[in-house]
């Protein structure tokens, strides 16, 4: 009985630790981006910078969503075929970092635009 409980506990712990840390775009928080760079810009320049930042964010959204789907698919395949491979999955943490910074950039630009009444 104790041996069976120990095996169940070990398998459960492995299952929880092996799950991917991949996140969707909605789950990634914006990183703090200082507004100083944008405060000296005119409203026209801020609008152009904002368009570029939002375009970049949209491109990154598609990329992070694809990365998330790919990672979750690989996780399912690994569970079915070879569970120890799950220990080597790293999710989409690099994409999460870059996406959070892009979100923060958009928010910083919009904050300055709001403060200038653009």
Quick check: 4 pLDDT over 80?
no
Calculate what percentage of the chain has a pLDDT beyond 90. Answer: 38
Q: In the prediction, which pLDDT does 93 show?
A: 76
Cβ-contact 117, 46 below 8 angstroms = no
Cβ-contact 31, 101 below 8 angstroms = yes
Q: Of 73, 111, 110, which is closest to residue 91 (Cα–Cα)?
A: 73
For the chain, what are the domain ranges? 2-116
Rg (CA), the chain: 21
Distance CA 112, CA 94 (A): 28
Q: Using one digit for the tens of pLDDT, what is the confidence trace for 16-71?
A: 445 667 788 888 889 999 999 999 999 999 999 999 999 999 999 988 888 888 88
Q: Give the pTM.
A: 0.62
Q: In the prediction, which pLDDT does 107 show?
A: 93
Calculate what percentage of the chain has a pLDDT beyond 70. Answer: 69
Distance CA 61, CA 58 (A): 5
Q: Using one digit for the tens of pLDDT, what is the confidence trace for 73-117?
A: 777 776 666 666 555 556 677 888 888 999 999 999 999 999 999
Q: In the prediction, which pLDDT does 68 show?
A: 86
Q: In the prediction, which pLDDT does 17 show?
A: 42
Cβ-contact 46, 116 below 8 angstroms = yes
């Amino acid at each position: 009985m104790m041996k069976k409980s120990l095996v169940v506990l070990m398998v459960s712990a492995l299952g929880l630790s092996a799950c991917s840390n991949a996140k969707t775009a909605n789950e990634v928080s914006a990183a703090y981006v200082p507004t100083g760079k944008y405060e000296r810009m005119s409203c026209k320049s801020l609008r152009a910078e904002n368009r570029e930042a939002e375009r970049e964010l949209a491109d990154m959204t598609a990329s992070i969503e694809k990365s998330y789907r790919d990672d979750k698919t690989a996780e399912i395949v690994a569970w079915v075929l070879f569970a120890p491979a799950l220990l080597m999955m790293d999710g989409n943490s690099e994409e999460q970092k870059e996406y959070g910074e892009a979100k923060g950039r958009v928010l910083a630009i919009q904050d300055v635009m709001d403060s200038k009444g653009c």
